Chain A
Amino acid sequence: MTSAAQTSPAPASGQSSLLDVHRLRTHFELRQWGFLRAGTVHAVDDVSFQLNAGEAVAIVGESGCGKSSLARTLLGLYRPTSGTVRFAGESLSDLRGGALKAYRARVGYVQQDPYGALPPFLDIRRILAEPLIVHGIRNRQEQERRIDAALEEVGLTPATDTRGKFPHQLSGGQQQRVVIARALLLRPSMLIADEPVSMLDASVRVEILNLLHRVQQDHRLALIYITHDLSTVRHYVDRAMVMYGGKIVEQAPVEELLRHPLHPYTEALLGALGDPDPQNAGRFRAVPGGEPPSLVTPPAGCRFHPRCPIAQKGLCDSREPSTRTPRPNHPVDCWMRE
């Protein structure tokens, strides 16, 4: 019943971590006609991990694996069903009113769809003033100063060119820069970026990833980068966690994970990914059959077993795998790895 991350690498310096997620569950009730209970979505199911100040981690998984629900729980947008989220020593579920507001100022959020994240009828100055107003910075000059600084930091220079524009007048990449500027305005100590580049063009993707990496380094931010694309984690984060069926099934430092994937699901993800190579055209890729599991009725035992090429009958299909650490700093939930 443990999950890979419970044995996650201890904070290097020995001090307590910035974010401590312990056996977190976020479930949603499904109701028919608004009141009949029709089942439970186990979106986040027993997830534990720690994140140090200034550390960047990726959460990798396919749609429906629970990664966005996890992000939204960490942002305080969903109430966890059980388990705890501690941020700088304080439990998120104990925060109310002003304390919750202060927490939200310390955690920046970068959404997937920049256009959807920016109100279309407000200009950029007004959009960026909003969090400042909410958090009590009402002095107009102070607002201007912070807005301009944020816009210049994300490369929208000179800020005066961007301030008066509306979101639709900006390209997708510029919109995402505005979203990042907004996330930085209140000087957070952690940033949660949920698929920040999946809606953008290839060359713009790299710009935005580089930008996120730069601000993360400059401000020593803790970063949670959520993605479905393993190829974008290298160079940008220190550690990656692989999520499947609401659980974290494997985590390791990025280079270690890419070189020595242990979970068969991670192996499958890596095997399905191609670098641009003319040889690809003649090659069929090994892809596990089937579909990602239902989070309403997840499979018994290991959630990957119905698709797993090495699943063992009588074990993987009935007993949930425990966490083991076959390689240092590299916990995995798989019966077949020792």
Chain B
Amino acid sequence: MAGPPLLEIDDLRLGYATERGTVQAVDGVNLELRRNEALAVLGESGCGKSSLAKALLRTLPRNAYPPTGQVRLDGRDVLGLSEERFRREVRWVRIALVMQAAMNALNPVVRVGDQVAEPLRIHRGFSRRAALQRAAEAFAEVGIAGAFLRRYPHELSGGMRQRAVLAMALVTEPDVVVLDEPTSALDVLTQAAIMNVLKRIKQERGISFVLITHDIATSSEIADRVALMYAGQVVEEASAQAFFTEPAHPYSQRLMASVPRLDQDQPPAAIPGRPPNLLDPPHGCRFADRCPERFDRCSEPPPATTLKGRHNVRCWLHSKSRGATT
């Protein structure tokens, strides 16, 4: 695999202005996504994963400070582009988004077909007829009958609306689709059906996915690689194989142990404590307070360490300089 990765996130930082100070939601995130790869960004509420998605699409709320660092698409930084160029060259043209609670993101008074066709008309200059034609193809691809193009959102079930929003993200044939909690509000069977659609699209179309989710089981449905975020930072990043079978970070291990499983006889174990306040995060390891394996080094920021393969972990336990005195 030569050439630069499709998408590289380099030292991305992002904060929000609040009445009580700056919340550093994303604090020095490095990630890369290769072609036809699915990267799951895992984490609990408030870990910064949705802010990361919004920074990629530049759909941040007004109280966000401009992100710093780099987001490179095919080696070219897109974070520095003007809003106008970003809109014309990147958003929905190369990176599309399936929003959180997307079922409710559709405009209730516009026919579903017109909404799915809209990105083509705006970003690719299609006529209405041609755009609707392509929207019909996109509908077929996600498994909705073409007749539903002329329906309004309330006439579709939750699962169908979710498929329609997915069709909207695919219709311009972007290189990267960011999925922000695409199945969290759906029933188990609907969720499995949507994951099947995503798997098929990934196989057939070679699209790359960034899946933002708190649901570990769902992330394993599609991820080639997993990045786990905690308090604004990526604490571990590895292949799905390595992450799910031999997680290295104590937080990853405890999070895996907290998942209720059908196949395991011991009950799931909660992680005591709570994530730190991002208004004033601790200087050292952010998980140290809750970590049963902490030692004196943990009061300093842990360095990113690369284990074998592309397996990165931010923890003193794995650092070569763990024993060194300061």
Interface set of A (CB-CB < 8 Å, partner B): 62-63, 171-173, 201-207, 209-210, 228-232, 234-235, 258, 268-278, 280-281, 284-285, 287-288, 291-292
Contact = CB atoms under 8 A, between A and B. Distances in A.
Contacts of B215: 202
A172 B44 CA distance: 12
B144 interface: no
Contact of B224 (A207, A258, A281, A284): A281
Contacts of A268: 189
A228 B271 contact: no
7 contacts: A204-B270, A206-B269, A268-B189, A271-B192, A275-B262, A285-B195, A291-B157
Interface stretch (B105-113, B252-260, B306-314): B252-260
Nearest to A229: B188
A269 B159 contact: no
B217 A171 contact: no
B262 A62 contact: no
B187 A234 contact: no
A63 B216 contact: no
A202 B262 contact: no
B240 interface: yes
Given A201-B44, A202-B215, A274 B259 contact: no
Contacts of B59: none
Contacts of B271: 203
Top 6 nearest A-B pairs (CB, nearest first) are: A272-B192, A235-B267, A62-B187, A207-B270, A201-B44, A206-B270
B214 A281 contact: no
Contacts of A209: 260, 268
Given A268-B189, A271-B192, A287-B193, 20 more contacts: A62-B189, A171-B274, A201-B214, A202-B44, A203-B258, A203-B271, A207-B270, A229-B260, A235-B267, A269-B188, A274-B218, A276-B216, A278-B241, A280-B217, A280-B220, A281-B221, A281-B223, A285-B192, A285-B195, A291-B159
Contacts of A206: 258, 260, 268-270
A196 B76 CA distance: 46
A265 to B, nearest CB: 9
B104 interface: no
B192 A287 contact: yes
Contact of B268 (A235, A278, A281, A284): A235
Contact of B44 (A63, A203, A273): A203
B235 to A, nearest CB: 14
Contacts, number: 121
Interface in B36-90: 38, 44-45
A195 to B, nearest CB: 12
B242 to A, nearest CB: 8
B289 to A, nearest CB: 14
Interface string B229-265: 0000000000111011100000000111011111110
Given A273-B188, A273-B262, A275-B261, A287 B220 contact: no
B219 interface: yes
A201 B45 contact: yes
B189 A287 contact: yes
A69 to B, nearest CB: 16
B191 interface: yes
A230 B188 contact: yes
Contacts of B214: 201-202
A62 to B, nearest CB: 4
B270 A203 contact: yes
Contacts of A281: 38, 199, 220-224, 240
In the complex, which of the residues A62, A232, A274, A284 has the most CB atoms of chain B within 10 Å of its own CB atom?
A274
Contacts of B261: 231, 275-276
Contacts of A280: 217, 220-221
Contacts of B221: 274, 280-281
B197 to A, nearest CB: 10
B180 to A, nearest CB: 15
B189 A235 contact: no
In the complex, which of the residues B157, B219, B220, B260 has the most CB atoms of chain A within 10 Å of its own CB atom?
B260
A244 to B, nearest CB: 11
B162 to A, nearest CB: 13
Contacts of A229: 188, 260
A160 B219 CA distance: 40
B189 A284 contact: no
Contact of B259 (A202, A228, A230, A235): A202
Contacts of B159: 291
Contacts of A285: 192, 195-196
A205 B44 CA distance: 11
Given A235-B268, A281-B224, A287-B196, A202 B189 contact: no
B268 A276 contact: no
B189 A274 contact: no
Contacts of B243: 278
A172 B241 CA distance: 32
A276 B191 contact: no
